[in-house]
């Protein structure tokens, strides 16, 4: 049964043909064994619990439960009832009494939680190696970093262990690992998916994200999970209509040639140029946009107010258990202690100025097309220079969160 396709449409076709959820659960565990990667999951549900959860769904009914019998994984900074939440730090762990709102909605839609996945500690990183647990191996090339911070969720999805997985995205953590493992990563608008039951990184920027095998699947999961949550002060009602045909003659903003940065990676540059030619062949009109203000916005993320926000999220833990933290994570978040309230306001003022300058630019196009990552680093390179390599990976993602794009 290892050849069963796990995209939602194929999975539901198998169920409609008489395949049992128990068979799919067995296949999940076969694929976990085949991947032979102890870094993917921090916690796994038992087969017995999954069999019971599947039995409780009743007969196959994809109308009432659009994710009926679909296996998924959850990043371990998102609560799942009865499982510990570690946020990538065993000393921080607590036992979750109930599901995060987004997990509860997906379970109500029929999805089955397989387990909780590894991450860069406290969701601080884009490399996927800042963890006290084994580092997940990149699903394409184990010599390369898996990307982070949602490394385990991306790798689990890329291996076909699950149909989709939840991550979080504060600076690119739901997009970088998707790109580096050749799957789909969906970063919603802030508040579109509830963050109740999610360990915050930067609460004003955090988004629950979706990893999937196809765009249709990512959007189907988003539609099932999206809802206004009155408990989450950042939650907002976001329309999620069915996907329709692509509008003709879209205007697409792309970084001006002089502003494109690939750090010498000719393959990544060539891949992006190929994507742009494809868009033109599809009838899109490309508009080159100066990207200086976007890059300046991105620089704010780790140079002031938002580092302090990361510290605020875990200050009670860090002030008494700092030694338990990953050394790189400790250095980054600990740097916030030297910042003042005045620094935070300066950052907010700078961001507002960038937003004002960029608003007409953003409004002038239908969408943007940028590289997910400018390059892809080996484990060896990242371990030798963890800060610079991580920063470079966020070249095209960091500004998106700050501008709420």
Q: Does the annotation mark 149 as catalytic?
A: yes
Q: What is the CA radius of gyration of the chain?
A: 21
Distance set, CA 275 to CA 115, 243, 247, 279, 281 (Å): 35, 22, 18, 6, 10
Distance set, CA 282 to CA 216, 335, 367 (Å): 19, 47, 14
Answer whether 123's CB lies under 8 Å from 173's CB.
yes
Structure tokens at 64: 């009432």
Answer whether 130's CB lies under 8 Å from 120's CB.
yes
Instruction: For residue 172, give the 3-state DSSP assignment.
Output: coil
Count of Cβ atoms closer than 10 Å to residue 367 Cβ: 12
Q: DSSP code of 299? A: H
| Terminal-to-terminal C-alpha distance of the chain | 41
Which is the catalytic residue, given 14, 65, 75, 150? 75
Answer whether 208's CB lies under 8 Å from 188's CB.
yes
Which is the catalytic residue, given 14, 65, 96, 149? 149
Distance set, CA 164 to CA 75, 213, 322, 337, 338 (Å): 11, 7, 34, 38, 40
Which is the catalytic residue, given 96, 150, 173, 220? 173
Q: Does the annotation mark 173 as catalytic?
A: yes
Sheet of 367-368, strand order: 285-289, 251-255, 367-368
Instruction: For residue 301, give the 3-state DSSP assignment.
Output: helix
DSSP 202-221: STTT-EEEEEESSHHHHHHH
By annotation, the residues acting in catalysis are: 75, 149, 173
């Amino acid at each position: 049964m290892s050849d069963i396709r796990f995209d939602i449409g194929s999975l539901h076709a198998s169920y409609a043909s008489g395949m049992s959820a128990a068979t799919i659960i067995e296949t999940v565990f076969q694929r976990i064994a085949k991947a032979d990667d102890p870094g993917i999951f921090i916690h796994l549900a038992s087969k017995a619990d999954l069999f019971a959860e599947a039995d409780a769904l009743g007969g196959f009914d994809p109308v009432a439960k659009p994710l009926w019998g679909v296996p998924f994984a959850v990043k371990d900074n998102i609560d799942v009832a009865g499982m510990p939440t570690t946020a990538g730090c065993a000393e921080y762990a607590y036992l979750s009494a109930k599901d995060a709102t987004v997990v509860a909605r997906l379970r109500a839609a029929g999805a089955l939680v397989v387990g909780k996945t590894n991450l860069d500690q406290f969701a601080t990183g884009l490399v996927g190696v800042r963890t006290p647990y084994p580092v997940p191996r990149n699903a394409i090339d184990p010599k390369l970093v898996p990307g982070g911070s949602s490394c385990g969720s991306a790798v689990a999805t890329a291996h076909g262990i699950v149909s989709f997985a939840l991550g979080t995205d504060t600076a690119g953590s739901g997009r970088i690992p998707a790109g580096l493992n050749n799957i789909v990563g969906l970063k919603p608008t802030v508040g579109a998916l509830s963050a109740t039951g999610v360990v915050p990184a930067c609460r004003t920027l955090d988004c629950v994200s979706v990893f999937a095998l196809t765009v249709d699947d990512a959007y189907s999961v988003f539609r099932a999970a999206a809802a206004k949550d009155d408990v989450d002060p950042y939650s907002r009602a976001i329309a999620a209509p069915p996907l329709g045909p692509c509008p003709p003659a879209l205007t697409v903003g792309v970084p001006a040639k002089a502003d494109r940065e690939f750090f010498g990676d000719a393959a990544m540059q060539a891949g992006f140029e190929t994507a742009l030619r494809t868009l033109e062949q599809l009838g899109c009109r490309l508009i080159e946009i100066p990207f200086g203000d976007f890059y300046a916005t991105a620089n704010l993320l780790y140079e002031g107010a938002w580092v302090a926000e990361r510290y605020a999220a875990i200050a009670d833990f860090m002030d008494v258990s700092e030694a338990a933290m990953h050394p790189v994570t400790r250095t980054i978040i600990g740097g916030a202690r030297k910042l003042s309230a005045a620094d935070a306001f300066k950052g907010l003022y700078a961001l507002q100025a960038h937003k004002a300058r960029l608003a007409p630019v953003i409004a002038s196009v239908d969408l943007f097309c940028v590289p997910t990552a400018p390059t892809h680093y080996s484990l060896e390179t990242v371990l030798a220079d963890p800060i610079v390599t991580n920063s470079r990976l966020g070249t095209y993602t960091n500004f998106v969160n700050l501008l709420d794009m």
